[in-house]
Structure 1
Amino acid sequence: MYCKFGGLINKDEVLATMFVQANTTIPVPTILDVIGESDEELFVLMSRVPGDPVHGVLNRMDAPSLALFESDLRDWLFQLRSLVPLPSTVVGGFLGTPSMQFRIAAWCPIGPYSTKEDLHEDLLRRTEDRSAVESVVKKSHGKPHMLCFTHGDLRHQNLLMQNGRLSGLVDWGSSGWFPEYWDYTGACYANKKYYPRWIEVFSRIFPQYRDELEVDRALWMQINPY
C-alpha cells in the first residue's frame, strides 16, 4: 500500500482516480481510505500497482516488445479520450478546479478556464515575449479542439510495466479536462533529447498533433525554458 498526504494530494486526484477505475480497464491505484476534509490535511491510503517505471526498459525493448507497449498505451489513451466530458466547457481539474500542470507553472496550479480560448490566452500572457510566438500559435490555437479527459503528467515514472506489458498508470494529480492534444504534447515535454523512442511512440499514436507540439514547444521556451 501507499499513502499520500501533506498537501501532495487533493480531492480532485482521489475522485479522478476512482473515475478512471470505474470507467476504463486501465490499472490504477485503488483508493482504500481517505481521512481529512481540506486538501491540506488529506491522508489518502491506496493500493500499490504492480510493476516498475517504464524508463528503465523502454530503450532496451526489441521491436515486438515495443509494438506491444505501443498497442497497450494506445488502448489506454483512447479509453481516456472516450470518457464523456462533464456538461461544461470549463478547462481545468477533474471538478472544474485549478490544475497542477508542471510544464506551465511548477507547483502553482493554473485555471480553471471558462473556454479553451481562455487557456490559450493565459499561455500567451505567461510568455516573456508574446510577439515572438503570436505568429506560431495560429497553427494550433485556431483549431476546433474538443475537450478530453487527460492524465496530464505522462512521464516514464508514472507508467509501470511488469512481465513485458504495461501494468499500471499512476499519479492522477494533474488529470482533468483539457484540449485533445494536451496529453500528447505534455508527454513530449523536454524529453526529445533524452528519450527519442518515447517521442516516437507517442507521435505514432497521435500523428495529427504535430502543429500543436510545435506551438507548445515555442510556448514552453518562453514560459518555462530549461
Structure 2
Amino acid sequence: MWNTVVPRILQPDFTWPRTIHYKISEVTPAVPRLPGKTTRKAWGLFHKALYYLSEYYCSWFHIHFDPHIVQLPFGLVMKWTDRTSLEEAAAMQMVEAAGIPVPKFLSCGEHPADPSNRKYSILMTRIPGIALENSFDPFQADTEEPWLYELRTCLHSMRQWRPPCPTSICSAIGTCLRGPRIPCHIMGPFANKEEFYEYLFSPASSHGFKSITAYKQALSCARKLEHHSHRVTFTHGDFKAHNIMVDDDGHLSGFIDWESAGWYPEYWEFTTAMRFGRSSWWYQAASWMGGDQYSDELASDIALNLLTVDSYIAM
C-alpha cells in the first residue's frame, strides 16, 4: 500500500542515480582530508539522532531494524559497528574518486562515550542491486554477466596504484589495518614486510594439530610467504561475494564494506577470497580474476590460518 502513497524518495529501496564509469583510474587517488575531532563529534550527535529516527522509520515500513546498518529515507544508510573506522571512510573516498562504484561517503561521526565500543559511524548513500551469493555451482566466465569483467577491471586498476611508501603495510591514511582474519582483528602499521610477518606469526600455536610433526610442517609451509618478493598494492581486504552488488542489468553496482582496506602484499586480496571452499563458485571466480597466480601463497596462507586461528576466531 505504502509504495503507491509514499513519495519514492522516502521508500526503503530508493537509490540515487549513479554515473557509470567505463574506465577506472590507474593513478593513485589523493588521500582525503578527514574532518577534525570536534567536527566528527558534532556529526556523531546528528548520526545518533538518525539512529533513533531509523527505529521509527523501519517500524513504519515494517522492515527489520538493523542497529549496525541503519536504514534511512532519502536513499541513505548509516554504518555504525565496532569495526567502522576513519580508515574505512578514507578508503571509500579514495576508491570513489578513482571511479569504482561504492556508496557515496557523506559524513563520519565520532562517538567516544558509546558503551558498545562503536566509536565511529559513516553516513552514505544506498547502493542499488543485490549482493552476490557463493555456491558450489560451476563457474563459467563466458556465461557470467558484465559485473565479472567490471569487477576485474576495478581490481586491476587498484593494483596499479602506488603506495606512499613502497614497503609500508598500512591503512589508506597510514595507520592500523583491521580485518576478520588477523590476530586481534587489528594490526600495524608496519614499516616493512619483516615487521608484518613477525606480527602475523607471533600467535602461532600447535594447539590445533594432532602432532608436533604436523605443526612443524604447517609452520614451514607458512614461512614460505616471507621469501616471496611481493609488491605492496591497494587491497579491499575482505574480497568476498557478499560484498559485491549487482544491478538488474547484470552490471557491477557496488563494491562495499571497505573496513579492511589498505596497502597489503599483492597476494592478500586473492588468498583472502580463496582460503575456503576450493570447489566453490567464488573460489573459481577469484582465481579467474587473478588469484590463479598465487597458488603457492594460498597454500602458505591456509597453513598460517591453521597456526593462528585461535587469535581471532573467538573475538
Same fold per superposition (TM over 0.5):
yes
Distance 1:74 1:122, change over 3 A: same
The question of 1:13 aligning with 2:97 is answered no
What is the aligned counterpart of 1:78 among 156, 160, 183? Answer: 156
Q: Which amino acid aligns with 1:52?
A: I
**Counterpart amino acid of 1:171?**
D
Secondary structure, counterpart of 1:224 in structure 2: helix
Tell me how far apart the structure 2 counterparts of residues 137 and 117 of structure 1 sit (CA, whole Å). 14
Contact 1:49 1:167 in 2 (8 A): yes
Which residue pairs with 2:301 in the alignment? 216
Q: Which runs of 5+ in 2 are unaligned?
A: 1-75, 207-214
Which deviates more from structure 2 when the two are superposed, residues 209-218 or residues 115-124?
115-124
Contact 2:85 2:119 (C-alpha < 8 Å) held by counterparts: no
1:119 maps to a residue whose letter is F
Cα separation, partners in 2 of 1:83 and 1:37, compared to 1, 3 Å: farther
- TM-score, length basis structure 1: 0.86
Which of 129, 140, 143 is the equivalent residue of 2:228? 143
Secondary structure at the aligned position of 2:178 is classed as coil
2:256 corresponds in structure 1 to: 170
Label 1:224 to 1:58 Cα distance change in 2 as closer, same or farther (>3 A). Answer: same
For 1:52-82, what per-residue CA distance to the aligned partner results, in whole angstroms no more than 9, with x for missing partners? 1111789488754426443222111111111
User: For residues 125-179 of structure 1, what are the alpha-carbon distances to aligned partners after superposition, in whole Å with 9 as ceiling and x for unaligned?
Assistant: 2211373434213543211101000000111221111122221101110000000
More divergent stretch after superposition (210-219 vs 52-61): 52-61
Q: 1:6 to 1:203 in 2, by over 3 A?
A: closer
Structure 2 partner of 1:48:
126
SS at match of 2:103: coil
> Contact 1:58–1:66 at 8 Å: present in 2 too?
no
1:203 equivalent in structure 2: 287
2:183 equivalent to 1:105: yes
- By how many angstroms is 1:94 displaced? 1.7
The answer on whether the counterparts of 1:128 and 1:222 sit within 8 Å (CA) in structure 2 is: yes
Tell me the residue number matched to 1:156. 241
Match of 2:193 in 1: 116
In structure 1, the gaps of 5 or more residues are none
1:30 aligns to what?
Answer: 104
The 2-side partners of 1:62 and 1:181 are apart by 23
Work out the CA distance in 1 between the residues paired with 2:295 and 2:90: 32
Cα pair distance change 1:93/1:135, threshold 3 Å: same
